[in-house]
Amino acid sequence: MTIKKKSKLSTEFTDVEAQRAKRYFDKLIKVLKKDLESSIRSSSSVENYKLPAWSEYQADQLGSQRTLRKVIDLITITKEPKS
């Protein structure tokens, strides 16, 4: 594996940088998935049916879940770095 010196304007990552970025994104994805699971559990909790503004709460939870899923999809790295 050769690490190339890159210019300040380069958009290409070295293998080491790509692997490091993937690790960081994987950690972030793990946190976001926990938040998503928590939101799903919370939105289906029987206690929340007692809220005076239940429909607004549900709309907010569904919007949050949709946003979390979108961010997870955007930052999921599907291609492994070249080795």
Task: Identify which has the larger pLDDT, 42 or 81.
Answer: 42
pLDDT-derived band at 12, boundaries 50, 70, 90: confident
Q: What is the distance between the alpha carbons of residues 36 and 64, in angstroms, rounded to a whole number? A: 8
Question: For the chain, what are the domain ranges?
Answer: 32-75
Q: What is the pLDDT of residue 19?
A: 86
Contact 3, 19 (CB under 8 A): no
Q: What is the pLDDT of residues 20-67, one digit of tens each?
A: 888 999 999 999 999 999 999 999 999 988 999 999 999 999 999 999
The per-residue b/e assignment along 12-29, b for 16 or more CB within 10 angstroms, e otherwise, is eebeeebeeeeeeeeeeb
Q: What is the pLDDT of residue 56?
A: 95
